[in-house]
Amino acid sequence: NAGVTQTPKFRVLKTGQSMTLLCAQDMNHEYMYWYRQDPGMGLRLIHYSVGEGTTAKGEVPDGYNVSRLKKQNFLLGLESAAPSQTSVYFCASRPPEAGRTKEQYFGPGTRLTVT
Amino acid sequence: AQSVTQLGSHVSVSEGALVLLRCNYSSSVPPYLFWYVQYPNQGLQLLLKYTSAATLVKGINGFEAEFKKSETSFHLTKPSAHMSDAAEYFCAVSDQGRGRRALTFGSGTRLQVQP
């Protein structure tokens, strides 16, 4: 199993450009999440999905959109990038409720710089 | 609402010394708590988790944590630090009840190990 993978690993955007970050998991997990990591702030939840075709906002959703057309993929879009979106983005997935396994599995991250 | 506080953004210890990383949580219901480790330029890896089965939890790489309800704490310890333990450590609490099951993270503690 590859686990959780993210594409791309690095990206530099100019203000106003758009891009999509791709997250894929091969563990058949229902739940998927997008977090951003900024120095001194830990990880903050951007959007999440509890199943194919469903998405919802987290704590810091402004400026981002997401889609979950297939169970294994969770896309994060930036329609018009801003310097404040310079960050490291992590995708995570989690098994469904059954059982006591409740941790999330994280991808390697995407480092995004907006100039 | 839940929250996690990690005391000390940077901790420095000598190789072979005790490692103590502090985490306090706020939750209105019994929490599920996690410690994750992030090595430079990598994603987050689960160290250990508390899910109410036992108050002393043993994790990977010789780390353990003790859940103390009276102190609302879940401090991470390791008896003898190794150079390879240098990383950033995050404490997190899981959402309770049904729903998104997201994690709320502390701001992280960077551990430095001096030779």
Tens of each residue's pLDDT in chain A, 115 residues: 789 999 999 999 999 999 999 999 999 999 999 999 998 889 999 999 999 999 999 999 999 999 999 999 999 999 999 999 999 999 999 987 655 457 899 999 999 999 9
Mutate to test the interface with B, among A46, A91, A100, A102 (most CBs of B within 10 A): A102
Reduced to 3 states (helix: H, G, I; strand: E, B; else coil), residue B49 is strand
How far is Cα B23 from Cα B107, in angstroms, rounded to an integer? Answer: 10
Task: Answer whether B55 touches A (CB < 8 Å).
Answer: no
- Residues in A touching B98 (Cβ below 8 Å): 97
Predicted pLDDT of residue A96: 77
Closest Cβ opposite residue B108 in set A42, A50, A106: A42
Q: In angstroms, what separates the C-alpha of B45 from chain A's closest C-alpha? A: 7
Predicted pLDDT of residue B10: 96
CA angle B1, B68, A102 (to 5 degrees): 60
Minimum Cα–Cα distance from B40: chain A residue: A108
How far is Cα B101 from Cα B36, in angstroms, rounded to an integer? Answer: 16
- Residues in B touching A106 (Cβ below 8 Å): 36, 43-45
Q: How crowded is the C-beta side of A89, counted as CA atoms within 13 Å? A: 32
Q: In angstroms, what separates the C-alpha of B26 from chain A's closest C-alpha? A: 16
